[in-house]
Every structure is written in C-alpha cells, then in structure tokens.
Amino acid sequence: MKKLLTVLLVMVLCLALTACGGDKEEVYTVGIVQQMPHIALDSATQGFQDALVAELGEGKVDFLLQNAQGDPTTCTTIVNDFTTKNVDLILGNATTALQAAANGTATIPVLGTSVTEYGTALAIENFDGLVGSNVSGTSDLAPLDEQAAMILDLFPETKTVAMLYCSAEPNSAYQVKVVGEWLTDKGVAVVDYAFADSNDITSVATAAAAAADVIYIPTDNTAASCAEAINGAVLPTGTPIMGGDSGICGGCGIATLCIDYYDLGYTTGKMAAKILTGEAKVEEMPIAYAENFSKVYNPVNCAELKIDTAALEAKGYTSL
C-alpha cells in the first residue's frame, strides 16, 4: 500500500510539472540590425517593435537592437552575432542591413524594411515581388514618376536637374535612373552627382548646386544622415532640393511625395508576428508596399527660398 501511494504521489508530481511546463508561454528573440541612425529608420524600427508587441503581447518578444552607424562591415558583424545566438527572426532596416542579413543566414527568417527595390538590393533579375527564400519585407518605394513630375510642377522653368546620391547604395542608383529617364523624356538635362560617403558629400553637393536648377535626392540613407551638411552647402546658393522621402525633405529639401516610415515598420512587424506564430511562411510572403502617400513641404527652407507655401497647400501639400 505504501509503495502504491509513493507511485501515485510521483505521478501526481509529474503531472503537475508537465502542466506548469505547458503553461509556460514562448518568448521570441528578434534581432534588429539598423543601418544607421536617422529619423526615417528610427521610425520604422519603432513601428516594427510596436506591431510585434501589439500582435504577440507584452513580454513575448526579446528585442536585440543594434545600430551599425552606417558601416556595412558592422552590419555583417551584428548579423553574425544574431545567427550565433540563433534568434527567431532578423529585421534588416535599410538596404545594407538587409543584404548583410540575407547573406548571413539561409535558415533564420529575415525581413527587410526601408528598402526601396528588393530586386536591386538582392541582385534578382526580373524580380516579381516574391524573393522565395528566407527573405521578405516591406518597400519604401514611392511612385517615382510622380516625384519626377513634382519637380516640373513646382519649377516649370527647370532646364537641368542634378541627381545627388550615395554611390554605395544600389537602391539610390535605381531611383536616380528611373527619375532621370522620366525627366530626360520631358527634355530636361540630367547630371549625376554621386558621393562615395559622408566625407565628400559637402563638396559634391556644392558642385551639384552650382550646375543645376534643381537637385533631386532619392531615398538615400547616407544623404538623410548628412542632411544638415547638405543643407548648409546648398541652401545659401538658392538651389531647391526635391527629396525622395520625408527625412531628406525635412533636413535639406523643399518638398516630396513620401510614405510614413512608422506605418511601414508596423506593417513589417505584423508580417513578423505571422512568421513567428507559424501563421505564414516567409518564403511565401511577397514584398509589401506602402499604400498611402503624402505631399509635404519644408516650411523653413521654403521661407528661405521665398517659395509660396500657400500655393503649395493649394496643390495639396501639407507642412512637415
């Protein structure tokens, strides 16, 4: 009898421990590698984190947030650390960060955000919107033809447009090509002014301002992080800058057609939640694109260049 009671007690204890183990909720580890600090990327990261917490609940996600400070080698180092820790998912915020994550693992799900064109970023020919591997994400691509049209709408006498962008960012080259072709078809001369990194951005921006009626800067992370330096070089010349996103516009531009980067990051976070919970497979998720775009202007720079903001608002622009 005593032996039977002992056996029953052991069984009860085992069942209790099993029940406790079954009640334990999984905590996911998500690595975030952000290419560099600036307002657009910061907003996307915040939106991503907020969405995952909203979808999965407080305390259900352990975020490992690392910023590469604009260094591609550091992006790779961060990703290697994430893979060593075998995180559940990696977010690559901006092109270089995505490329490092995609090259760093073929098994851990990778999502990108603040990436303009995935076919260009990942060297996929005839890209149809589905990467098909462990990589998916969201694109910050705004309608480039509409951005190009804005230049001639606001400055109809434009004869020459300078394309100012970082040569190390392939998605910037893609945008410049598309916008440049549109402008060329309209009879506008287009001249590229590519800078290698932040060290030569001021001198290249100064040259661009001297050579053109208008400067166009695409969605370019290096340019956005150096927007203050560009503004200091260009604004005194009176040459207006049309930006590819709100970060460029707010830092050194006049106007842009842009997306909300927080919303973009939030969409990416909802994608991540589906992957983590098994509701969706990353290899079956097509790249998601922003649906809403806003015409915005920089009131400070417009005032400096004596641009009529009332006329801009009549065209549907709102102040940043």
Residue ranges per structural domain of the chain? 28-140+260-289, 144-258+294-319
pTM of the model: 0.83
Task: Give the CA distances from residue 88 to residues 107, 154, 186, 253, 269, in Å, rounded to whole numbers and listed in that order.
Answer: 10, 47, 49, 39, 13
- Distance CA(61)–CA(63), nearest Å, equals 6
Domain topology for 28-140+260-289: Rossmann fold (3.40.50)
pLDDT of residue 21 exceeding 80, the answer is no
Residue 291 is predicted with a pLDDT of: 83
Fold matches, 28-140+260-289 and 144-258+294-319: yes
What is the tens place of the pLDDT at every residue in 272-283?
A: 999 999 999 999
Residue 3 is predicted with a pLDDT of: 52
Interval 23-29 mean pLDDT: 77
Task: Give the CA distances from residue 25 to residues 56, 59, 160, in Å, rounded to whole numbers and listed in that order.
Answer: 11, 10, 60
The CATH class for the domain spanning 144-258+294-319 reads: alpha beta
pLDDT of residue 208 exceeding 90, the answer is yes
Which residues, 6+ apart, have CB-to-CB distance to 12 below 8 Å? none
